[in-house]
């Protein structure tokens, strides 16, 4: 690692940490049903929450005009105090987004001015800048879907927002790893291929995790290893929607079935990578990456089972999402060490 890259690496890894915080707070926002509390978006004026009781009352009255209050919370003795609670999590989520923007753009301009970035790194950072802006748009696009008729966001948009945050994190980590390990390592093509396939299935699993969250599909079939009534594929998987495809992307039972089944595939691919790696002479970092991957995937699998069995309590749902982040981190690191 070149000494002059230390500050750049610290900057990129700090960005990874902030993205991690963003996803964690986003998970809390979703699990506490706080995502529709802020009914508009202003870059400057929403930077801080209402600073007076009159401003709070004004924000609350605005919230009352939208479906979530009119169709759900109006029947729940929903008070200003309750509104302040859900407002905080959505505001905090957006606030971290603003911090991420500043934490990326200001150092990026500084490093450009000081000529501390190679041409290749500049190109990657421009991609990251575009990804960050697009992620902000996806957040607005997601919230917008819950402010029209249905007092819940589209599970497709939620999953897109969540998955793209994971991808942005993974790419930021990859760029940092390029600087941390500038020297080429031995590329073992069979292991690299398995790791790439495992990454693809992991991303599909994250997409379906977003579907499960968006549809509240974790609140049904709270049994394992079989679904309700002792069935591997419960009959409800096929009857909620008009076609099999729609059942698997829009039906609660179908989405949960894909998510719980995909977990076995992800575990199987990582175990295949582990046992296949025994045939090759690996570096210490390659071994550590694969071993860590195995440990985390089993922890994640266990968390998924308990989250389902206990009907998605806040702390377990959040822990499951956090562990998914760690799993993607380990996958990104392992693939990098098998590729570069």
Looking up tokens 């985390």 gives 296
Give the mean pLDDT of 188-208: 97
Q: Is the pLDDT of residue 150 over 90?
A: no
- Spatial separation of the C-alpha atoms in residues 228 and 213, rounded to whole Å: 19
pLDDT value at position 4? Answer: 59
pLDDT value at position 258? Answer: 98
Q: Which residues contact residue 132 at a Cβ distance below 8 angstroms, ignoring those fewer than 6 apart?
A: 100, 101, 104, 168
Q: Is the pLDDT of residue 51 over 90?
A: no
Q: Can you give the pTM of this predicted structure?
A: 0.92
Q: Which residues contact residue 210 at a Cβ distance below 8 angstroms, ignoring those fewer than 6 apart?
A: 155, 158, 159, 160, 161, 162, 163
Which of 253, 243, 267 minimizes the C-alpha distance to 217?
253
pLDDT value at position 104? Answer: 94
Structure tokens that stand for 262 in this block: 């995909």
Give the mean pLDDT of 19-23: 93
* Residue scoring higher pLDDT (42 or 218): 218
Average pLDDT, the chain: 92
Which of 246, 257, 250, 156 minimizes the C-alpha distance to 210?
156
At residue 1 the predicted structure's pLDDT band, cuts being 50, 70 and 90, is very low
- Spatial separation of the C-alpha atoms in residues 304 and 30, rounded to whole Å: 17
Tell me the per-residue pLDDT of 244-286, one tens digit each, with 9 for 90 and over. 999 999 999 999 999 999 999 999 999 999 999 999 999 999 9
Tell me the per-residue pLDDT of 71-108, one tens digit each, with 9 for 90 and over. 888 888 899 999 999 999 999 999 999 999 999 999 99
Of 48-52, 168-172, 197-201, 309-313, give the lowest mean pLDDT range: 48-52
Tell me the per-residue pLDDT of 108-148, one tens digit each, with 9 for 90 and over. 999 999 888 999 999 999 999 999 999 989 988 888 887 87
Angle at 168 between CA 165 and CA 172, to 5 degrees: 140
Looking up tokens 């582990």 gives 274
pLDDT value at position 3? Answer: 55
- Using CA atoms of 185, 123, 133, 154 in order, give the dihedral in degrees to the nearest 10: -50
Q: Is the pLDDT of residue 181 over 60?
A: yes
- Spatial separation of the C-alpha atoms in residues 206 and 300, rounded to whole Å: 12
pLDDT value at position 39? Answer: 81
What is the distance of C-alpha 266 from the center of its chain?
Answer: 17
pLDDT value at position 2? Answer: 56
Q: Is the pLDDT of residue 316 over 70?
A: yes
């Amino acid at each position: 690692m070149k000494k002059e890259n230390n500050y750049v690496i610290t900057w990129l890894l700090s960005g990874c940490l902030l993205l991690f915080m963003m996803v964690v707070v986003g998970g809390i926002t979703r699990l506490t049903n706080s995502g529709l509390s802020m009914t508009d978006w202003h870059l400057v004026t929403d930077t801080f929450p209402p600073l007076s009781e009159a401003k709070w009352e004004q924000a609350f009255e605005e919230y009352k005009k939208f479906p979530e209050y009119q169709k759900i919370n109006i029947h729940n003795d929903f008070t200003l105090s309750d509104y302040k609670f859900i407002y905080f999590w959505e505001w905090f989520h957006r606030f971290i987004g603003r911090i991420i923007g500043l934490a990326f753009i200001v150092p990026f301009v500084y490093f450009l001015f000081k000529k501390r970035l190679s041409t290749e790194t500049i190109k990657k950072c421009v991609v990251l800048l575009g990804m960050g802006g697009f992620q902000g748009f996806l957040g607005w696009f997601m919230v917008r879907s819950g402010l029209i008729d249905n007092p819940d966001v589209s599970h497709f948009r939620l999953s897109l927002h969540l998955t793209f945050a994971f991808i942005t994190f993974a790419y930021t980590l990859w760029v940092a790893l390029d600087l941390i390990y500038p020297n080429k390592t031995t590329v073992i093509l069979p292991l690299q291929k398995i790791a790439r396939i495992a990454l693809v299935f992991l991303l599909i699993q994250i997409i379906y995790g977003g579907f499960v969250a968006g549809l509240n599909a974790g609140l049904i079939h709270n049994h394992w290893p079989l679904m309700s009534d002792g069935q591997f594929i419960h009959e409800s998987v096929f009857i909620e929607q008009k076609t099999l495809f729609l059942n698997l992307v829009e039906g609660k039972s179908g989405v949960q079935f894909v998510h719980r089944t995909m977990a076995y595939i992800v575990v199987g691919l990582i175990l295949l990578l582990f046992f296949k790696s025994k045939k090759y002479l690996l570096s210490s970092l390659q071994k550590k990456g694969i071993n860590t991957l195995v440990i985390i995937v089993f922890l994640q699998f266990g968390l998924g089972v308990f989250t389902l069995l206990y009907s998605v309590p806040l702390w377990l749902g959040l822990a499951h999402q956090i562990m998914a982040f760690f799993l993607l981190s380990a996958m990104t690191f392992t693939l990098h060490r098998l590729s570069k």
